[in-house]
Chains A and B, each alone.
Chain A
């Protein structure tokens, strides 16, 4: 069965550079979440989209932006990268409805040097 696809799996960037992370949800899933997980930390909610519209915003820095496209894939754009942005970034997708399961991708490990 198709899962949530994230790309790239690993990314190394220098301080002040920009990065774009991509997420391809499971087919027919219309909701996408982005989470940031630092080393030894729990996943922190960044932002979510439902039907291509932003549905909620968490602890996403102003330097980051995201969108969901017409094919439901989502991109997280990160600018002016800081060392503290180094983390595992997960995308999860869910089908419409209450209590549906969130399926997580394998994450993108971003290292800022």
Chain B
């Protein structure tokens, strides 16, 4: 069974602070996706990382895929209250053309003004 461990589980910070969320597994994934979910809504994709060592930037968000494709991190610079939400990483491993997304338990981020 492929498992994704996310840490921390909860994070409460002040506006303007930086933070890093981690997603780790003992399994190798073909790709990793990061989603953000607001209460009562479905997860929305932020980014997909595919290549080991890959770094992607999305405004104040920086995503990194580990060299061995077993872990990933999300770094947010100068967090804002609008960043508040549940951040989920999801790994995919496919034998055929498409696999299933396995989700981590999420990191609940609260950014206080």
Check if A88 sits within 8 Å of B92, measured CB to CB: no
B1 to chain A, nearest CB (A): 10
Check if A45 sits within 8 Å of B101, measured CB to CB: yes
Check if A42 sits within 8 Å of B104, measured CB to CB: yes
- Chain A: which residue is nearest B43 at the CB level? A104
C-alpha gap A102/B101 in the complex (Å)? 9
Any A CB within 8 A of the CB of B45: yes
Chain B residues with a Cβ closer than 8 Å to the other chain, count: 25
- Give every chain A residue within 8 A of B106 (Cβ-Cβ): 42
Any B CB within 8 A of the CB of A92: yes
The A/B interface has a contact count, at CB < 8 Å, of 65
- Chain B: which residue is nearest A101 at the CB level? B45
Any A CB within 8 A of the CB of B105: yes
Any A CB within 8 A of the CB of B30: yes
**Residues in chain B within 8 A of chain A (CB atoms):** 30-31, 33, 40-45, 48, 50, 88, 90, 92, 94, 97-106
Report if A107-B42 is in contact (Cβ < 8 Å); known contacts: A42-B106, A50-B98, A101-B48: yes
B2 to chain A, nearest CB (A): 11
Report if A45-B41 is in contact (Cβ < 8 Å); known contacts: A98-B30, A98-B31, A99-B92: no
Any B CB within 8 A of the CB of A58: yes
Contact sample, A vs B, 30 pairs, CB 8 Å cutoff:
A4-B42, A33-B100, A33-B101, A42-B88, A42-B106, A45-B103, A48-B100, A56-B99, A88-B40, A90-B42, A92-B42, A92-B101, A96-B97, A96-B98, A97-B97, A97-B98, A98-B31, A98-B97, A98-B98, A99-B31, A99-B50, A99-B92, A101-B45, A102-B45, A102-B90, A102-B101, A104-B43, A105-B42, A106-B40, A107-B40
